[in-house]
Amino acid sequence: MRYAVIGAGAVGGYFGGRLANAGRDVCFLLHSDYDYVCSHGLRVDSCRGDFLLNPVQAYRDAAGLPQCDVVLVGLKTVNNHLLPGLLRKVAGPETLVVLIQNGIGMEDDLQKAMPGLQIAAATAFICSSKIGPGHICHMDYGSLTIANYSCRDTAKLDTLVGDLKDSGVETYTADYLLARWRKAVWNMPFNGMTVALNTSTAQLLANPATRQLIKEQMMEVIGAANACGVMGLDESFADKQIATTDKMTPYKPSMKLDYDNGRPMEIDYLYSHPIAIAAAAGFEMTRLKMLEAQLRFLSNNK
């Protein structure tokens, strides 16, 4: 199996790096880091063991990538409009494209743009960040959940899961809608609220008023998921998410990091799309729609 990684940042770089470090054939599409990685390699400082990849199969231009069996996409969703162009060469009819992204609706949009494409979704549970060119720091966790969206070649999906496990990545599989909405139960409240109130997950949970609000927002996501036909998410799942977050070290979600660093926020796929999908299923996400409006305001008035 030949792999490509598009968006080799904190997430794509880590999982692609793990595969390459275990001897898999992995091509990395790089932009600003291309020259640095060509001469110094890709370094991963990881709580599960540091490693350095050198040399790296680095590509500067998507048009130069060979056709691959699996493409791991680690881009932020704000760049998803670039995907059809980036995938044109690397993805053929047999290729499986895996979106390791946060949000809901990315697969629908990509499928509309590229009807024959085989797509899977992945949700990452990981604390990692890019701390310099070709340099990723992996602080905690590091598991991946893979969910089939439109992959006809399920053997390839199984091989991907096996390769990840063999590379030291804790890997699970799940139903597509369940995987995406389950992740949203945590993502939608905490990402936006840490930005809106300029704070951390721990402080939000320490205050009784916002702790209650976070719970209500989680229940809103669960209500939306149920309306969309996702079963197996209920109040106990929300309580478990809050209990888990209580035990985490105070944490800045990715949207908070994006906002603080002047990068665009993933408002479309983290808020607007799921809110619209839920509304189409007859469920109003009133609180998260309000949060979306506050984020739109902050995004335009920074």
Question: What residues make contact with its own copies under the rule CB under 8 A?
Answer: 196-197, 199, 203-204, 207-210, 212-213, 216, 286-287, 290-294, 296-298, 300-301
CA–CA separation, 118 vs 94, rounded Å? 7
Residue 286 CB, shortest distance to its own copies, in Å, is 5
CA–CA separation, 65 vs 49, rounded Å? 29
Q: Which is nearer to its own copies, 206 or 248 (CB)?
A: 206
What DSSP letter does each residue of 87-104 carry, written as one string? HHHH--TT-EEEEE-SSS
Please identify which residue in the block is written with the tokens 């905490």. 190
User: Are the CB atoms for 224 and 216 separated by under 8 Å?
Assistant: no
Q: Which is nearer to its own copies, 261 or 300 (CB)?
A: 300
H helix intervals, the chain: 12-21, 34-40, 83-90, 106-113, 154-166, 176-196, 201-206, 208-227, 235-247, 254-260, 267, 273-280, 286-300
Q: What is the rounded radius of gyration, in angstroms, for the C-alpha atoms of the chain? A: 19
Q: Which is nearer to its own copies, 261 or 301 (CB)?
A: 301
Residue 287 CB, shortest distance to its own copies, in Å, is 5
In this structure, what token pair is assigned to residue 7?
């968006």
Residue 79 CB, shortest distance to its own copies, in Å, is 22
Q: Which is nearer to its own copies, 68 or 275 (CB)?
A: 275
User: Are the CB atoms for 110 and 50 separated by under 8 Å?
Assistant: no
Candidates 183, 240, 256, 289; catalytic one: 183
Q: Is 215 a residue of the active site?
A: no
Residue 210 CB, shortest distance to its own copies, in Å, is 5
As annotated, the active-site residues are: 183
